[in-house]
Amino acid sequence: MSQVVIAGGGTVGLATAVFLGQHGIPALVVERRTRPSVHPRALGISPRTLELFRSAGLSEAIDAVAVRSAVPGKADARTVAEIDRTQPSRAPRFAGGDLSPETPRGHYSQDRLDSVLLPAARERGATIEFGVAVTGVEQDAEGVDVELSDGRTVRADYLIGADGVNTAVRGGLGIGTTGPGEIGDPTLNILFGADLVGHFGSMPMMIEISHPDAPGMLLAVGEGRWVFHTKPPADGRFTDETCAATIRTALGADVPLEVISVLPWRATIRMADQFRSGRAFLVGDAARAISPLGAFGLNTGIADAHNLAWKLAMVVTGKAGDRLLDSYHEERHAIAEMVTEQAMLRLANPRLHWDPAAVAERTAAGAWYAPMVTMGYRYESSAVMGPVPPLPSTEDVVASLDGAPGSRLRHRWIAGVSTLDLVGPGFTLLTGSGEWDDAARALDLPVMRIGGDWPESVGIDDTGALLVRPDAFIAWRSLKADADTLPAVLAAVTGRKNGAVG
């Protein structure tokens, strides 16, 4: 069995181990920290990220750690005490029954996600070593030597750098970066415990505080814990006491509270020039860090993890050629560029993100509606048999999930099962016709038969078919029965054959 080493046991590293384990690949994860981070950090999880966890059998476990509130959405106030409770809080509605089988149910803080992913990775065969850092990387044609801080050198078939924005793996591979680096002002991310619901009554999930001495964002992270993102004092020095005083100003009330931890940070924009170098790959913030407005950072990292895991699994089990691994960079680098641009547009004008109705403003600015950024995009790569048509819309997600090659399969409930649930761990053929059965059987390709008006909804006739990848993206669309072409197409999109299909 191939040895895959993952540097970094943050949320993306753990998710990579889960997704690999789902395919029977047991990874070794080495994490520099001595235990998982207690800091919540990212809270906003997209329906697409929930779909990826669903595909790994983690729907219920992830749902159980969601932090719900009686008052969803965002409020704006000078202090918490001054919230106008007669006004409905603003909540961008980014989910939808006709888009996805999954709907986010609140905040999913990274510490709570990690509490699911860590045991899930172990259950799927991963070994996770805390207190061990990657200190050096050397590779040749046959493998990667991964030097560890405890003096060991592990010989791996593949190395995945999930070691965050200051990645040692990226540096060790000599991969350059583009982007301005740290942007914006330094910020304090203060995690504290307080009975705010007991004091104020029900609380919105997010409150933007405008008090001049304590401006910032207050976020619910569950079990009487809250996070306040705010500016550090002018001299940059802070203690638990100064943080507590700032929070009390933001609350507008003298509520008992305990500061649990303080994370100073600055938004960073930095992109690796290559996400693949030989037998090594970068995922998550190691591949690209983006500004937080839009909540795209973690979601993009989890999508990287999933995209790489199924491809690596197919290659190490001999079901795909090495060329499939090139498509990891081709696809995820292009998406990282798109997401970075979308996050930057939101940084310049937050209304583009927070106001779903700001369609004209978004269109004028070149900004996409948020669910388009996380699930409406299209891949153009060697793992998709094009042509990939341009997006019909940057606002209408349903219209964009139209069955085109490179797009995510359209979700539809059929007898209580989502079409996304029909997609297997390998490639799957979806068709309304039995004309593909023999060719698919010869290729050991599962066929899912869906009739009725479904073929038309994905742009094919009754005899056509969609070849769907393990990530539910469409690798090929045949408008009509064309089973003779199937072997060549499958070989091409799995990197087992170079060149045109005909």
Ligand X SMILES: Cc1cc2nc3c(=O)[nH]c(=O)nc-3n(C[C@H](O)[C@H](O)[C@H](O)COP(=O)(O)OP(=O)(O)OC[C@H]3O[C@@H](n4cnc5c(N)ncnc54)[C@H](O)[C@@H]3O)c2cc1C
Q: Which residue is associated with the tokens 């087992």? A: 496
Q: Nearest 10 degrees: CA dihedral of 411, 415, 416, 422?
A: -50
Structure tokens at 219: 């976020």
The CA distance from 235 to 404, in Å, is 55
User: Position of tokens 């924005």?
Assistant: 165
Q: Which of 8, 216, 405, 432 binds ligand X (CB under 6 A)?
A: 8
Angle between helices 297-316 and 47-55 (to 10 degrees): 30
Q: Does 340 bind ligand X (CB under 6 A)?
A: no
Of 87-116, binders to ligand X (CB under 6 A) are 110
Among 10, 21, 252, 464, the residue binding ligand X under the rule CB under 6 A is 10
- Rule CB under 6 A: say whether 30 interacts with ligand X: yes
Footprint of ligand X on 244-273 (CB under 6 A): 265
Query: Measuring CA to CA, which residue among 10, 107, 124 is closest to residue 63?
Result: 107
In the complex, what is the shortest distance from the CB of residue 167 to ligand X, in angstroms, rounded to a whole number? 6
CB of 314 to ligand X, least distance (A): 23
* Contacts of residue 220, Cβ cutoff 8 Å, sequence gap at least 6: 67, 69, 106, 107, 203, 204, 205, 206, 226
Interaction between residue 492 and ligand X (CB under 6 A): no
Answer for which of 3, 4, 5, 12 binds ligand X (CB under 6 A) is 12
- Residue type at 77 in one-letter notation: A
Both structure tokens of 180: 């301005």
The total number of residues shown for the chain amounts to 502
Specify the residue, 11 or 400, whose C-beta has the smaller distance to ligand X. Answer: 11
Report the residue number, 49 or 419, with the smaller CB distance to ligand X: 49
Longest dimension (CA), the chain: 74
Q: Determine the Cα–Cα distance for residues 379 and 473; give it in Å rounded to an integer.
A: 8
Please answer whether residues 162 and 284 qualify as being in contact, where contact means their C-beta atoms are separated by less than 8 angstroms: yes
CA distances in angstroms from 36 to 31, 161, 220, 345, 392, listed in the order given: 9, 17, 20, 33, 42
d(CA 27, CA 67): 30
7 forms part of the interface with ligand X (CB under 6 A): yes
State yes or no: residue 370 binds ligand X (CB under 6 A).
Answer: no
In 10 A of CB 152, how many CB atoms?
11
H/E element, 270: strand 268-272
- Measured from the CB atom, the residue of 292 and 464 that comes closer to ligand X is 292
Of 51, 63, 111, 285, which lies in the binding site for ligand X, with binding defined by CB under 6 A? 285
Pairing of strands 144-148, 153-156: antiparallel
CB-nearer residue toward ligand X: 286 or 489 = 286
Nearest distance from C-beta of residue 484 to ligand X, angstroms:
44
Q: Which is nearer to ligand X, 263 or 443 (CB)?
A: 263
Site string (295-314) toward ligand X, x via CB under 6 A:
xxxxx-x-------------
Close Cβ partners of 120 (under 8 Å, ≥ 6 residues apart):
14, 18, 21, 56, 58, 61
Dist. CA 195–CA 225, nearest whole Å: 8
Cβ nearer to ligand X, comparing 166 with 210: 166
23 is a site residue for ligand X (CB under 6 A) = no
Which of residues 38 and 422 has its CB atom nearest to ligand X in the complex?
38
Nearest approach, Cβ of residue 148 and ligand X (Å): 8
Q: How far is Cα 321 from Cα 379, in angstroms, rounded to an integer?
A: 19
133 binds ligand X (CB under 6 A): yes
Say whether residue 222 binds ligand X (CB under 6 A). no
CB of 186 to ligand X, least distance (A): 12
Distance of alpha carbon 53 from alpha carbon 12, whole angstroms? 12
Give the x/- contact pattern for ligand X in 149-188, rule: CB under 6 A.
-------------xxx---x--------------------
* CB of 217 or CB of 414, closer to ligand X: 217
Stretch that binds ligand X, among 84-92, 283-291, 409-417, 430-438 (CB under 6 A): 283-291
Cβ closest to ligand X, residue 8 vs residue 455: 8
Draw the binding track, 450-469, toward ligand X (x: CB under 6 A; -: no contact): --------------------
* Nearer to ligand X (CB atom), residue 164 or residue 495: 164
Q: Which of 89, 100, 189, 382 binds ligand X (CB under 6 A)?
A: 189
Residue 284 in contact with ligand X, rule: CB under 6 A? yes
User: Of these, 4, 21, 28, 32, which contacts ligand X (CB under 6 A)?
Assistant: 32
Question: How far, in Å, are 8, 53, 151, 175, 180 from residue 170 at the CA level?
Answer: 12, 27, 20, 6, 17
The smaller minimum CB distance to ligand X, of residues 164 and 216, is found at 164
Asked if residue 324 lies in contact with residue 475, where contact means CB atoms within 8 angstroms, the answer is no
Q: Whole-number minimum distance, CB 334 to ligand X, in Å?
A: 18
Least Å distance between CB 461 and ligand X? 40
Q: Can you tell me which of 33, 68, 85, 93 binds ligand X, judged by CB under 6 A?
A: 33
| Residue placing its CB nearer to ligand X in the complex, 172 or 406 | 172
State the residues that interact with ligand X by CB under 6 A: 7-13, 30-33, 37, 41-44, 110, 133-134, 162-164, 168, 189, 265, 284-286, 292, 295-299, 301
